[in-house]
Amino acid sequence: MGNSHRQIPYHHCSWERCLQTSPCTRRRLLSHGSSPFLPAEGGQSAIPLTFPAFNAKTEARHADGSVCGSFGRAVSGVINTVCDFGWSLLKSSAIEDDVTPVRSGDEGVEFRPITISTLTFSIDEIKQVKASLGVTLNDVICGVVFLGVRLYMQAMNHDLRNAQSTALVLLRTRNIAGYKSVAEMVEPDAESPWGNQFAFLHVPVPQLSEHEPNNPLSFVLKAQKIIQKKRNSAAVVLTGKLLEMLRKYRGPEVTAKYIHSTLKNTSMTVSNIIGPVEQMALSNQPVKGLYFMVAGVPQSLTITMLSYMGKLRLAVGTENGLIEAPKFKSCIQNAFDMIFKAAVNNI
């Protein structure tokens, strides 16, 4: 497992921007299950890169097809939607997380310098944990991140190890079929208008019980239970509609203020991108690794993930003077090692 560590100002240019292509190109290539290719030396085109296939049948295998089961899921979905969307509105407007070792809660934190550190995990090892527990890859990754955060909070201030902390998970709401040409997107009343289409999900970080260090797999299962409940909810769709309505009827400034408040009231942002399976090259120079970072946000902690060539690169942006970057990175690594060791012994 590899890692890196460096300190930079809050302005940061990420690979995510460097590798952007037009929506028309993305639509054409993604429809064939591949990514945009980069020209090779001499004007020849390289072989298109491929992304991991998404298996939509994973959840369906465990679904109860009976009438009672369908009715129960529908009722549960309505209840979860009302609770999640209501809680999202409160968190965005009135309720803040506690001040902790990972959240200063100060005004203007987005203008402070940050330190960016990265860790690299093997996707094959993550899959071993997944198979052992019968959960998804996202459940395992979230379990590792949340356990690492709690271990760091415990190490820095034991009394605050279980303080209220919320992760804001960013989600893209534009369908793949929604990618059109730029000319089509900028037309008035376009079916798929130009611009970012995203929503966010408030996920409470599970609390760390006394026995958790001896049974780290239970922490992954707690994270899985929370995420599973969030999946059975339309709160993400409603949040996306709310942002679109704010933009359309109140203007971009009001929308930006709402998003700023949403970020400021939570402890961290978590975002991920699925990267190519094969190695890619820029001007015939092999790219050994990729990561991206969201900078300039009113939070003390940002965590991003990007898969590439069978590895998961986890990048951590931490506020200087509040979070000890090497210590935090060590806690994330320790959380993964604990979970992986327990999962292997559990097989």
Check pLDDT > 70 for residue 295.
yes
Q: What is the rounded distance in angstroms from the CA atom of residue 49 to the CA atom of residue 34? A: 5
Q: What is the pLDDT of residues 23-50, one digit of tens each?
A: 333 333 333 333 344 444 444 555 677 7
Per-residue model confidence (pLDDT) at position 66: 61
**In-domain check, residue 35:** no
Q: What is the pLDDT of residues 151-201, one digit of tens each?
A: 999 999 999 999 999 999 887 666 555 556 778 777 877 777 666 666 788
**In-domain check, residue 50:** no
Q: What is the dihedral of CA 105, 107, 112, 114, to 10 degrees?
A: 20
Do 135 and 202 meet the contact criterion of CB atoms below 8 Å apart? no
Please tell me the pTM assigned to this model.
0.78
CATH of the domain at 294: 3.30.559.30
Secondary structure class of 92 (helix, strand, coil): helix
**In-domain check, residue 191:** yes
Residue 284 — left, alpha, or beta (φ > 0 → left; ψ -120 to 50 → alpha)?
Answer: left
Instruction: Domain of residue 303: give its range.
Output: 3-12+55-346
**In-domain check, residue 46:** no
For 108, phi then psi, to 5°, come to 75, 20
Do 55 and 39 meet the contact criterion of CB atoms below 8 Å apart? no
Q: Structural domain tally of the chain?
A: 1
Residue with the bigger pLDDT between 188 and 277: it is 277
**In-domain check, residue 339:** yes
Give the DSSP letter of residue 300.
S
**In-domain check, residue 37:** no
Collect all residues with Cβ–Cβ distance below 8 Å to 258 and sequence separation of at least 6: 92, 93, 243, 246
Per-residue model confidence (pLDDT) at position 61: 44
What Cα–Cα distance (Å) separates residue 42 from each residue in 45, 76, 132, 160, 203? 9, 58, 48, 59, 49
Question: What's the CA angle centered on 257, arms 251 and 261, to 5 degrees?
Answer: 150
